[in-house]
């Protein structure tokens, strides 16, 4: 297989324009003859479905939840970036581009990231037109704030509910198209397999989660917008239903998986407090704008925070990174928290937490100002922990948050399977080895509103498009194979529950493929994981009736795929003998414990191709930087 | 954080599909940490049931952060339990006492069919939004985001209304099973913004007609919805909706 990213030639700033001109158009009268399947109703899926339907395509869209409005995007708190430069503080398309490339530690494609920055401004315009109630200034214009690692204020937000408001905007556009009959909505459906006919993506098999029935759906093209796979770690900030199955099944059918081990660990989450815990809660990192991170200077100091005098507090981020201080990028902040806790300076019952303290900000700006900025976050913290952050510092610890890895796509967002497009967090495209805050929402909407409507036409017009026939043997086989897989899970009839296995998998992944990785650990995990998977297939218990609403079965199907994905992540982390962004290989660090890249040997995207159960093939997409100078990231 | 535990008796509504009669079954939840959320408590009970090869209690959840609107049940007669402005997933067990008995039942309304146990079908809410809960603009061609200033006051009120998570607690708490709070929140959100103005009259009329059509009841000012809303959506939105509705019935007819 030959990888071709289809990056247009010409100067960076003209590539997208040039490409749009060169893309084939579909005649308006022909558009309604084309059926497009969109899987997922998050920002990427909803915006794609709405925009494609507005153009005249016939769209079928699917989601797991009972309503498209509930997709995981709804939970994003902090904001969305754009290069508007409204605050006049020196931002530009080029600066957003540069910050994103640098933040990703030079492991993303220049052309994609530049396009993302260009489109960012259209997104804000469109969302305002859709009625998204972004925060405003007294004069009635839009407010901006600076967000995790940015030195300009380019983040637009809607209180602490930016994801909710953006998703409701995209959902409203989708709803309008549903009402017009241009989109058919299928809720409580889970994609179980991708169907290929003559090597092109032509449909999907879904399980109706209410009745347990398998259904066949055909189309001329399939768009996956199924989100990230952070739940491979069991505990993450992702929603309970987030999973990898749609991507994984496509991978098994020939879509390559890129940088699977690139996982972002978010620095400001509420620490784990019990084995019963079902998920981790993120506290928006906008909190780091005013909160100061500290631990006691003395390892093992178990005094209450009030008893630790100022001189015995270690503000380690401010000390180590004087110019960025508490606003260093996520990977840097997370790693430093782990380092402090590993050195015995962690606080709280488990010793795996650091303080995020608002005392000084409250003294400086007054409680009212702080409440106005963060009131709902403080409330949320208090609700969960029973502690009041106006009076005592928050305790935070890093948690799995976002997966930069995902299905490989070219500049058109098409995977290595013709006709299969991948958008949003599910693809690998724009964030390299580390995503900057407030740029996932931007990417999801860029992909859905402003990229796929152009690029999909080029595919549809460029290949012959047969009539879709779901009685084709490819559909029959895929449906049969799915049914067999479900029967096998039920037939195990063992003793351990699916959550029990999922937690065990999460422990392996967190221990060996989490915030820091090393060769020996990854090798150990590569022994442990297959053993666990073997036990899963021998000792799993799925209660209830498979031919009905069965949430244990839903989880079992997902965990079976996570077990396989986990192994690919380990291989990927092992192969990359450098550190970059979130991927810290302990063997490769600078003297100051920062990620040490090896640009001579690893300046590529790792693109994994599934061959058969025994064999994996690694392809390398070289990353070429013509517009930025590769440098050691420094936030000092 | 404390590590205290409590023991509870649960009376849980079990119903195998919309046509089943349903019944309350009793379960004992033992050694429940007070730091757990309500749904984590149910997870623990379900792990126990699964190990005994019994059918776990079906309930919906996704974000577990109080924002997706997927969770919800009546706990001792209160939608999302006894705490104000709290979704079920954000309700923590520290609010209960050792030895408490909890009645856990699904949100009930004519327009919400029960799928299984605590899981309900709320697609009627989506249908109401499809009837008009949007601004009719296509992608592309929007003016610069700062072209139209919006007063801070109006945009804040719009945001207050837009905070609705569509969970259905308002409907479940209303003696008439009315969806007025839900509808009024969306109508207000959009009518308060200049971008939503052009369609404001049509929107309110169409959404209310759809609400009636789907079998939701009328609003008779019981205010239970406001008390139950986990996001503190105010019934002032209903007054605003009524104003929009009067305007709309004077000037137009619903487009169906
Ligand atoms: C707590 C939290 C806060 C965040 N805050 C921010 C922020 O402030 N700024 C920012 O830029 N980013 C933020 N992010 C990241 C961002 O929210 C996500 O990356 C982004 O929303 C992903 O959008 P998506 O459309 O790709 O996928 P999702 O929103 O995850 O949607 C996935 C969709 O796919 C469906 N689906 C999945 N699998 C299947 C299947 N097999 N069959 C059928 N349907 C399926 C789901 O039902 C869902 O509809 C945050 C993330 C979290 C967890
Ligand atoms: S699970 Fe999302 S609001 Fe409760």
Provide the pLDDT for residue B2: 47
Select from B78, B113, B148 the last residue of a domain.
B113
A532 CB-near residues (< 8 Å, 6+ apart) = A501, A504, A505, A508, A563
Q: Stretch A606-631: mean pLDDT, rounded?
A: 94
Residue in B with minimal Cα distance to A276: B40
pLDDT in tens, A411-450: 999 999 999 999 999 999 999 999 999 999 999 999 999 9
What's the domain range around B65? 5-113
Select from A369, A400, A431 the last residue of a domain.
A400
Query: Is some CB atom of chain B closer than 8 A to the CB atom of A138?
Result: yes
Percent with pLDDT over 70 in chain B: 96
The string of DSSP codes covering B3-36 is: --EEEEEEEEEE-SSTTS--EEEEEEEEEEETTS
A72 in a domain, yes or no?
no
pLDDT in tens, B35-66: 999 999 999 999 999 999 999 999 999 999 99
Q: How far apart are CA A158 and CA B155, in angstroms?
A: 10
A367 in a domain, yes or no?
yes
User: Do B108 and B130 reside in the same domain of the chain?
Assistant: no
Inter-chain contacts counted by CB atoms under 8 A, chains A and B: 222
Number of domains chain A is built from:
2
Q: Using a 6 Å CB cutoff, which residues line ligand 1?
A: A 39-45, 62-65, 71-73, 75-80, 162-163, 189-191, 225-228, 237-238, 242-243, 245-246, 282, 401-402, 424-426, 438-441, 444
For residue B114, the surrounding DSSP H or E stretch is: strand B113-116
Select from B73, B90, B113 the last residue of a domain.
B113
Q: Which atom of ligand 1 is nearest to the CA of A78?
A: 8
Q: How far apart are CA A201 and CA A198, in angstroms?
A: 9
Q: How far is the CA of A134 from the centre of ligand 1 (A)?
A: 20
User: Do A392 and A270 reside in the same domain of the chain?
Assistant: yes
B64 in a domain, yes or no?
yes
Q: How far apart are CA A254 and CA A611, in angstroms?
A: 8
Decide: B181 and B118 in contact? Cβ < 8 Å: no
Spatial CA neighbour of B103 closest among B71, B79, B131, B126: B79
Q: How far is CA A608 from the centre of its chain?
A: 19
Decide if pLDDT at B1 tops 50. Answer: no
A460 in a domain, yes or no?
no
Task: Starting from the CA of residue B86, give the closest ligand.
Answer: 2
Residue labelled with tokens 């990230």: A228
User: Do B137 and B247 reside in the same domain of the chain?
Assistant: yes
Decide if pLDDT at A146 tops 60. Answer: yes
Please report, for the domain that includes residue A327, its CATH number: 3.90.700.10
Q: Stretch A14-41: mean pLDDT, rounded?
A: 96
Query: Is some CB atom of chain B closer than 8 A to the CB atom of A180?
Result: no
Q: Report the residue from B54, B86, B159 with minimal CB separation from A133.
A: B159
A246 in a domain, yes or no?
no
CA torsion A114→A120→A126→A127, rounded to 10°? Answer: 150
User: Do B19 and B95 reside in the same domain of the chain?
Assistant: yes
Query: Is some CB atom of chain A closer than 8 A to the CB atom of B163?
Result: yes
Cα A278–Cα A279–Cα A285 angle in degrees, nearest 5: 165
The band of A634, judged by pLDDT with boundaries at 50, 70 and 90, is confident
Number of domains chain B is built from:
2
Select from B57, B80, B113 the last residue of a domain.
B113
Length of chain B: 256
Decide if pLDDT at B97 tops 70. Answer: yes
B223/chain A closest Cα distance in angstroms: 24
Mutating to test ligand 2, I would choose from B37, B64, B229 the residue with most ligand atoms within 8 A of its C-beta, which is B64
Residues of A noted as catalytic: 330
Q: Which of residues 46-65 of B touch A (CB under 8 A)?
A: 47, 49-51, 53-56, 58, 60-65
Q: What is the CA radius of gyration of chain A?
A: 24
Q: How far apart are CA A244 and CA A227, in angstroms?
A: 8
Residue B49 in tokens: 């049931």
A543 CB-near residues (< 8 Å, 6+ apart) = A552, B49, B50, B53, B54, B55, B56
More reliable by pLDDT, A290 or A372: A290
A635/chain B closest Cα distance in angstroms: 32
Decide: B138 and B130 in contact? Cβ < 8 Å: no
B118 in a domain, yes or no?
no
Residue A572 in tokens: 């990927």
Dihedral pair phi/psi, residue A80, rounded to 5°: -135, 135
User: Do A393 and A481 reside in the same domain of the chain?
Assistant: no
User: Do A290 and A396 reside in the same domain of the chain?
Assistant: yes
Q: Using a 6 Å CB cutoff, which residues line ligand 2?
A: B 61-64, 66-71, 87-89
Reduced to 3 states (helix: H, G, I; strand: E, B; else coil), residue B220 is coil
The band of A632, judged by pLDDT with boundaries at 50, 70 and 90, is confident
Q: Stretch B95-104: mean pLDDT, rounded?
A: 97
Reduced to 3 states (helix: H, G, I; strand: E, B; else coil), residue A99 is helix
Query: Is some CB atom of chain A closer than 8 A to the CB atom of B121?
Result: yes
In the predicted model, what is the mean pLDDT of chain B? 95
Nearest CA to ligand 2 atom 3: B66
What's the domain range around A580? 473-601
User: Do B177 and B102 reside in the same domain of the chain?
Assistant: no
Q: How far is the CA of A426 from the centre of ligand 1 (A)?
A: 9
Reduced to 3 states (helix: H, G, I; strand: E, B; else coil), residue A589 is strand
User: Do A271 and A370 reside in the same domain of the chain?
Assistant: yes
More reliable by pLDDT, B20 or A284: B20
User: Do B44 and B149 reside in the same domain of the chain?
Assistant: no
Reduced to 3 states (helix: H, G, I; strand: E, B; else coil), residue A496 is strand
Please report, for the domain that includes residue B229, its CATH number: 1.10.1060.10
For residue B242, the surrounding DSSP H or E stretch is: helix B236-251
Percent with pLDDT over 90 in chain A: 89
Provide the pLDDT for residue A581: 93
Q: How far apart are CA B29 and CA B9, in angstroms?
A: 6
Q: How far is CA A577 from the centre of its chain?
A: 24
A93 in a domain, yes or no?
no
Residue A247 in tokens: 């991507």
Exposure on the CB side of residue A18, measured as CA atoms within 13 A: 12
Q: Stretch B198-212: mean pLDDT, rounded?
A: 95
Q: Stretch A326-352: mean pLDDT, rounded?
A: 91
Residue labelled with tokens 């509870």: B8
Query: Is some CB atom of chain B closer than 8 A to the CB atom of A626?
Result: no
Query: Is some CB atom of chain B closer than 8 A to the CB atom of A543?
Result: yes
- Beta bridge partners, B94, equal none
User: Do B81 and B201 reside in the same domain of the chain?
Assistant: no
A311 in a domain, yes or no?
yes
User: Do B142 and B240 reside in the same domain of the chain?
Assistant: yes
Query: Is some CB atom of chain A closer than 8 A to the CB atom of B94?
Result: yes
Spatial CA neighbour of A234 closest among A499, A631, A460, A602: A499
A453 in a domain, yes or no?
no
In angstroms, the Cα distances linking A72 to A63, A281, A504, A558 are 11, 13, 24, 16
Q: What is the pTM of this model?
A: 0.97
Decide if pLDDT at A122 tops 80. Answer: yes
Decide: A516 and A593 in contact? Cβ < 8 Å: no
Decide if pLDDT at A568 tops 70. Answer: yes
pLDDT in tens, A526-545: 999 999 999 999 999 999 99
A66/chain B closest Cα distance in angstroms: 7
User: Do A282 and A393 reside in the same domain of the chain?
Assistant: yes
B201 in a domain, yes or no?
yes
More reliable by pLDDT, B54 or A380: B54
Beta carbons of A68 and B126 less than 8 Å apart: yes
Please report, for the domain that includes residue B84, its CATH number: 3.10.20.30
Backbone dihedral region of A580: left (phi > 0), alpha (psi from -120 to 50 degrees) or beta? beta
The band of A410, judged by pLDDT with boundaries at 50, 70 and 90, is very high
Q: How far is the CA of A13 from the centre of ligand 2 (A)?
A: 42
Q: How far is the CA of B39 from the centre of ligand 2 (A)?
A: 10
User: Do B91 and B138 reside in the same domain of the chain?
Assistant: no
Q: Which atom of ligand 1 is nearest to the CA of A423?
A: 26
Interface test with B, best of A79, A133, A136 (most B CBs within 10 A): A133
User: Do A279 and A377 reside in the same domain of the chain?
Assistant: yes
Q: How far apart are CA A499 and CA A280, in angstroms?
A: 16
Provide the pLDDT for residue A124: 98
Q: How far apart are CA B174 and CA A618, in angstroms?
A: 59
Reduced to 3 states (helix: H, G, I; strand: E, B; else coil), residue B53 is coil
In the predicted model, what is the mean pLDDT of chain A? 95
Provide the pLDDT for residue A285: 84
- Helices and strands, number each (H, E), in chain A: 18, 19
Spatial CA neighbour of B39 closest among A299, A277, A604, A399: A277
The band of B255, judged by pLDDT with boundaries at 50, 70 and 90, is low
Spatial CA neighbour of A338 closest among A394, A400, A285, A402: A400
């Amino acid at each position: 297989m030959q990888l071709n990213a289809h990056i247009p030639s010409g100067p960076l700033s003209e590539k997208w324009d040039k490409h749009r001109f060169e893309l084939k158009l579909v005649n308006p009268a022909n558009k309604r003859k084309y059926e497009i399947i969109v899987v997922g109703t998050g920002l990427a899926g909803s915006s794609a479905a709405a925009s494609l339907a507005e153009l005249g395509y016939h769209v079928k869209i699917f989601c797991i939840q009972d309503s498209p409005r509930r997709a995981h995007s709804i939970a994003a708190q902090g904001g969305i970036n754009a290069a508007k430069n409204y605050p006049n503080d020196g931002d530009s398309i080029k600066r957003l581009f540069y910050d994103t490339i640098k933040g990703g530690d030079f492991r993303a494609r220049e052309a994609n990231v530049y396009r993302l920055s260009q489109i960012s401004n259209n997104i804000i315009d469109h969302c305002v037109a859709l009625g998204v109630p972004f925060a405003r200034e007294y004069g009635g214009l839009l407010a901006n704030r600076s967000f995790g690692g940015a030195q300009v204020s380019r983040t637009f937000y809607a209180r602490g509910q930016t994801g909710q408001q953006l998703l409701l905007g995209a959902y409203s556009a989708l709803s309008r198209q549903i009402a017009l009959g241009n989109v058919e909505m299928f809720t409580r459906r889970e994609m179980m397999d991708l169907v290929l006919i003559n090597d092109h993506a032509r449909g999907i098999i879904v399980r109706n989660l209410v009745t347990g029935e398998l259904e066949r759906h055909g189309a001329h093209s399939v768009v996956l917008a199924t989100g990230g796979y952070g739940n491979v770690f069991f505990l993450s900030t992702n929603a309970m239903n987030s999973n990898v199955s749609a991507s994984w099944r496509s991978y098994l059918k020939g879509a390559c998986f890129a940088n699977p081990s690139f996982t972002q660990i978010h620095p400001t989450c509420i620490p784990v407090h019990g084995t019963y815990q079902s998920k981790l809660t993120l506290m928006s990192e906008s909190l780091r704008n005013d909160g100061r991170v500290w631990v006691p200077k003395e390892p093992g100091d178990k005094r209450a925070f009030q008893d630790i005098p100022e001189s015995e507090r270690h503000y380690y981020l401010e000390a180590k990174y004087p110019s960025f201080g508490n606003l260093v990028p996520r990977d840097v902040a997370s790693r430093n928290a782990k380092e402090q806790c590993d050195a015995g300076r962690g606080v709280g019952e488990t010793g795996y937490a650091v303080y995020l303290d608002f005392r000084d900000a409250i003294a400086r700006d007054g409680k009212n100002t702080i409440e106005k900025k963060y009131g709902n976050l403080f409330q949320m913290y208090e609700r969960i922990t029973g502690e009041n952050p106006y009076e005592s510092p928050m305790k935070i610890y890093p948690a799995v948050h976002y997966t930069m890895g995902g299905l490989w796509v070219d500049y058109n967002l098409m995977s290595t399977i013709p006709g299969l497009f991948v958008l949003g967090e599910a693809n690998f495209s724009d964030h390299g080895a580390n995503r900057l805050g407030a740029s996932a929402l931007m990417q999801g909407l860029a992909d859905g509103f402003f990229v796929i409507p152009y690029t999909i036409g080029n595919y549809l017009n460029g290949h012959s498009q047969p009539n879709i026939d779901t009685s084709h043997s490819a559909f029959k086989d895929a449906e049969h194979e799915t049914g067999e897989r479900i029967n096998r899970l039920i037939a195990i009839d063992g003793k351990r529950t699916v959550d029990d296995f999922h937690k065990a998998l999460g422990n392996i992944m967190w221990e060996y493929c989490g915030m820091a990785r090393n060769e020996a650990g990854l090798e150990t995990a590569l022994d442990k994981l297959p053993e666990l998977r073997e036990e899963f297939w021998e000792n799993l218990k799925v209660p209830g009736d498979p031919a009905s609403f069965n949430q244990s079965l839903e989880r079992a199907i997902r965990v079976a795929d996570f077990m396989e994905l986990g192994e690919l992540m380990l291989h990927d982390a092992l192969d990359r003998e450098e550190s970059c962004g979130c991927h810290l290989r302990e063997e490769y660090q600078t003297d100051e414990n920062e990620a040490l890249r090896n640009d001579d040997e690893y300046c590529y995207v790792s693109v994994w191709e599934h061959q058969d159960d025994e064999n994996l093939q690694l392809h390398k997409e070289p990353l070429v930087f013509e517009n930025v100078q590769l440098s050691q990231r420094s936030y000092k | 954080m404390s590590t205290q535990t409590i023991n509870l008796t649960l009376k849980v509504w079990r119903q195998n599909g919309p046509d089943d009669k349903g019944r309350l079954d009793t379960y004992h939840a033992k050694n429940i940490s007070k730091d757990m959320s309500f749904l984590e408590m149910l997870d623990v009970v379900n792990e126990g049931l699964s190990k005994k090869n019994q059918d776990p209690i079906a309930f919906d959840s996704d974000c577990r952060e109080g924002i997706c609107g997927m969770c919800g049940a009546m706990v001792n007669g209160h939608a999302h339990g006894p705490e104000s402005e709290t979704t079920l997933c954000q309700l923590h067990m520290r609010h209960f006492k050792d030895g408490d008995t909890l009645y856990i039942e699904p949100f009930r309304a004519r327009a919400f069919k029960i799928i299984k146990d605590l899981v309900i079908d709320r697609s009627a809410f989506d249908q109401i939004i499809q009837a008009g809960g949007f601004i009719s603009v296509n992608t592309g061609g929007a003016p610069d985001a700062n072209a139209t200033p919006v007063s801070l006051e109006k945009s804040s009120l719009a945001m207050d209304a837009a905070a609705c998570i569509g969970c259905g607690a308002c409907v479940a708490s209303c003696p008439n099973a009315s969806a007025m709070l839900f509808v009024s929140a969306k109508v207000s959100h959009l009518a308060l913004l200049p971008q939503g103005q052009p369609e404001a009259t049509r929107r309110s009329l169409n959404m209310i007609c759809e609400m009636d059509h789907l079998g939701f009841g009328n609003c008779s000012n019981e205010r239970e919805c406001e008390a139950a809303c986990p996001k503190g959506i105010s019934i002032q939105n209903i007054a605003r909706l009524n104003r929009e509705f009067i305007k709309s019935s004077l000037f137009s007819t619903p487009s169906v």
